[in-house]
């Protein structure tokens, strides 16, 4: 009998299912998460709008969630939680396929946030994301103001 531990991606996807049920309903899934980088996907199937392309709210969701997912492999989730304070989105092209959103944080930015949240109980960071279709064409971009906060602050 084998009892393999779930992968980090499986843990993230399971956590998203329970913490953000609507994203799970949309089919948002983490596809790669590591220090300083995260990629999420969402299918076109079930997420279309009245003229046959991906609904704008789904594109927003798959990009917005990156701010929180980027924090997971880096910061102590027992001490801190991520939140979003503001998001600007540009819809560049209709999305007619599944999409992947990607964003990154530099080691320098991670270190700055870690130092600041330890000192002040919170730290803001910017997440710039690109949402791409199956062909790699950018269909939307976002700039999000996120914050890492200490629990109880």
The answer on pLDDT for 3 being more than 70 is: no
The least confident of 7-21, 86-100, 136-150 is: 7-21
Q: What's the chain's average pLDDT?
A: 96
Sign of CA dihedral 52, 131, 19, 85: negative
> 6 vs 55, which has greater pLDDT?
55
Q: What is the pLDDT of residue 46?
A: 97
Task: Identify which of 129, 143, 136 has the alpha carbon closest to the alpha carbon of residue 39.
Answer: 129
Assign 3-state DSSP to the chain and report helix, strand, coil percentages, each to 5.
Answer: 30, 35, 35
Q: How crowded is residue 71: how many other Cβ atoms within 10 Å of its Cβ?
A: 25
Q: What is the pLDDT of residue 41?
A: 99
**What is the rounded CA–CA span in Å between residue 148 and residue 100?**
24
> The pTM is what?
0.94
Domains and CATH numbers, the chain: 8-150 (3.10.129.10)
């Amino acid at each position: 009998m084998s009892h393999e531990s779930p992968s980090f991606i499986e843990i993230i996807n399971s956590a998203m299912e329970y913490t953000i049920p609507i994203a799970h309903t949309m089919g948002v899934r983490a596809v790669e998460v590591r220090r300083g980088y995260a990629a999420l996907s969402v299918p076109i199937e079930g997420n279309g709008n009245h003229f046959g392309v991906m609904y704008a709210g789904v594109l927003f969701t798959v990009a917005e969630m990156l701010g929180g997912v980027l924090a997971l492999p880096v910061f102590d989730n027992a001490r801190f939680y991520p939140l979003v304070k503001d998001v600007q989105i540009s819809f560049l092209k209709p999305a007619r396929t599944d999409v992947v959103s990607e964003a990154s944080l530099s080691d320098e930015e991670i270190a700055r946030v870690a130092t600041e949240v330890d000192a002040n109980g919170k730290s803001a960071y910017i997440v710039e994301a690109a949402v791409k279709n199956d062909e790699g064409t950018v269909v939307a971009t976002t700039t999000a103001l996120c914050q890492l906060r200490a629990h109880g602050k």
